[in-house]
Structure 1
Amino acid sequence: MTLREVSTRRNRAERTDLGTSLDRALAILEMVSGNGGGTTNAELARRLSIPTSSCSYVLQRLERTGYLTRSEETRRYELGIKVLGLAHGVLRDTGLPGAVDSILKEIAEKTGQAVIIAILCKDRITILRRTGLPELNGVDFEMGSSFPAHATAIGKMLLARLSDADLRELLDSQQLVKRSPRTINSKDDLMRNLVDIRRRGHSTSNGELFMRIRGLAVPIMDDAGQTCAGLTVAGPRLRLDDDEAIRTIHDGAAMISKRLRETAEHRRSLNSPFDVLTALRHFAADRII
C-alpha cells in the first residue's frame, strides 16, 4: 500500500469517526433535552446501543464545552448554559420575543392557562416561548423543552399539517411510546385523530403527556400559507369544548402570524438576508436546540 493510499484511508476513517461522534452528540443532546431531571451515562448508552465508554467520551466533550452539565450529587447530565445561549440567539434573530410576548400574555389572562409556542422537530416538539402558569402539575414546560409530538395537542396539530407523504414517512420510522395511560400508541388511531384535527382546525389532548393536563392547539401560519409553528393553551382546568378558549387561541395565532410577517417584511426592506419565517422552519428542520 502506498503512502497516499494510507493517508486517504486514514482521512476517510477520521471523517467517519467525526460523523459518528457528531451524530451521537446530537442524539445525546436530544435525549437529555427530552428527559426532565437529567440522564445518566448508562441510560444514554443503553438507549443509543453503544458502549458506555464511547458514550462517556462524548458526554465529557459536551460537558467540557458547556453544552451539558453533570450534577455532583446525582451524577446525571442536564443541558448546559451553552445550549440556552443558542436558543436565545435564534429567538433574538427571529424577532419572536418582541413579536409575540404581549399576545401570549393576553391569551394567558383571558384563559387562565399556560400559553406555549412550539415547533415540530421530526417526531418531537420543541418549546420556543411560554407564559402563564409557572408550572403544570409540577411540570415546568420551559423554553427548549422537548416532548413527543404524538402525546401533545400542539404536536398532533403540527403532525396534522404535514403532507400525507411526509407524515407516513415520519410515522414509519418512529415508535409511538406511551407517556401516560391515555397516550395514543397505535399509528392507525393516531392517523384517524390527525384526520379529525385537519377537519376541525384545532387539536386537543387530555392527559396524554401527563395526567390531568389538557391542551388546545392551533397552527401559526406564514405568508405562504404554510405552518411554521403551533400555539397551545394548556392546564389542569382547561375545558376542551370551551368555544371561547378556541376562538381566543385562533385569534392569537392569527395576530402572531401577522406580526411575524411584518417582522420579516421589515427585515427585507432593510436588505437583511434573514427571513423570520424561513428561520423558524430551518430551526425545526436542523434541530438547533
Structure 2
Amino acid sequence: MIQEEDRYRAPALDKGLDILELLAQIDGGLTQAEIAKHLGRSPNEFYRMLDRLVRRGYVTRIDGDRYSLTLKLFGLAQSHAPVRRLVSYATPFMRELAEQTRQANQLAVFDRGSVVVVAQQEAPGYWGISIRVGSHIGLFDTGSGHVLLAFRSQEERLLMINEYSSSKEHPTVAKEFFDRLDQIRERGYEMMPSAQTAGVYNLSAPVLGPDGRAIAALTIPYIALVNVPQAPDMTETLELIAETSRQLSALAGSEALNAK
C-alpha cells in the first residue's frame, strides 16, 4: 500500500529543493560531484537540474565548476509578507524619528538586484528631502546601498553586486570600496555627501536580522535647517537614527516580525 506521504511525490522537484537546501548551508559553493556525494546520488543525476537552477537565477557558477546560491530566494522572501510586516512595524518609529530630527527618512531593502525604497516618512516641517516609495536607488552611490552591502559577508556582497550590475553599467569595484564597507560595518553607520543633491548628507544605519545581516537600511537625507528652533545638528541626528535602527533591529529579531 502506498503511504500517504509518498502518494504525490515529485522526484524532480525534490531533487531541486535538496540542492537549494544543501547550498544554503555551505559557504563557498560545491562542485557537481560534491553535491552528489552530500546527497548520496550519482553526479549525472544533477546536471540538468543544476543547469535549470542556474538559468532561472537561483544558483550561480563560481570559480568555474562550483555552484552557489544567488540572492534570488532572499529577494522573493523580501517581496512577500516579511517586508510588509517590517514596514508596518517600522512606520511609528520612522514617524517619531522624523519628529525628533525634523528631517524626512526612508527605509530601503535589496530586492532581486535592486535597492528599493519600501517606506518613506515626510519631514514634519516645510522642508525635507523625500523619495517616493517604490523608487530604485543606487547601490554604489547611496548611503542605503553602502549599508546594505556593509552588513553582509564578502561572498554575499559580490552576489549582490553581480545581481545589481547584470542590467546596469557600473564602475570597477576597487579594493578601496570594500575597505569603506568594512569601515561602515565597524562604526555602525554611513555618513556621506549625497551624490544626487548638493548640500544633502546621507545618514544611514542598518536594520539587522537575528543573524546580524542587514535586512534594510534606514536613511535620513539630512539638510541643514535654518530658523528651525531646537533642530538637531548632524551629530545629534546621527545618534537618533542609530538608536532607531537599533530598536528596529531588535524588533526584526522578535517573534512578532517573524510570525507567519
Is 2:219 the partner of 1:232? yes
Structure 1 stretches lacking a partner, 5+ long: 1-19, 24-88, 179-184, 268-273, 275-289
- Paired with 1:213 and 1:242, the residues of 2 have a C-alpha distance of 11
Tell me the residue number matched to 2:144: 154
Cα displacement (A) at 1:219: 0.8
> Aligned residue for 1:255?
247
Question: Structure 2: which amino acid aligns with 1:196?
Answer: Q
Provide the residue aligned with 2:257 in structure 1. 264
Amino acid at match of 2:179: R
Secondary structure, aligned partner of 1:151: coil
* Cα shift at 1:191: 2.0
Match of 2:173 in 1: 187
Deviation at 1:167, TM superposition (A): 2.0
The aligned residue for residue 206 of structure 1 is 193
Could you tell me the percent identity over the aligned residues?
A: 20
Taking a change above 3 Å as real, the CA distance of residues 129 and 91 of structure 1, as seen in their structure-2 partners, is farther
Question: 2 CA distance for matches of 1:91 and 1:133?
Answer: 27
- For residue 223 of structure 1, the aligned residue among 207, 210, 225 is 210
Alpha-carbon shift at residue 93 of structure 1 (Å): 7.5
Match of 1:106 in 2: 96
Q: Which residue of 2 aligns with 1:120?
A: 110
Match of 2:132 in 1: 142
TM-score by length of structure 2 reads 0.56
Report the Cα offset of residue 155 of structure 1. Answer: 0.8
Q: Greater helix share, 1 or 2?
A: 1
| Counterpart-to-counterpart distance in 2, 1:91 and 1:130 | 18
The aligned amino acid for 2:177 is L
TM-score, length basis structure 1: 0.51
Residues 162-182 of structure 1, C-alpha deviations (whole Å, 9 max, x = no match) = 21122234446738868xxxx
Q: Give the 5 Å matches for 1:78-97.
A: 90=80, 94-97=84-87
Aligned equivalents of 2:239 and 2:151: distance in 1?
Answer: 19
Query: Is residue 167 of structure 1 aligned with residue 136 of structure 2?
Result: no
Aligned-pair CA distance for 1:158: 0.6
Verify the 8 A CA contact 2:189 2:203 in the aligned structure 1.
yes
Structure 1 residue identity aligned to 2:198 = M
Matches of 2:145 and 2:180, distance apart in 1? 12
Answer whether contact 1:137 1:213 (CA < 8 A) is retained.
Answer: no
In the TM superposition, residue 205 of structure 1 has moved relative to its aligned partner by: 2.4
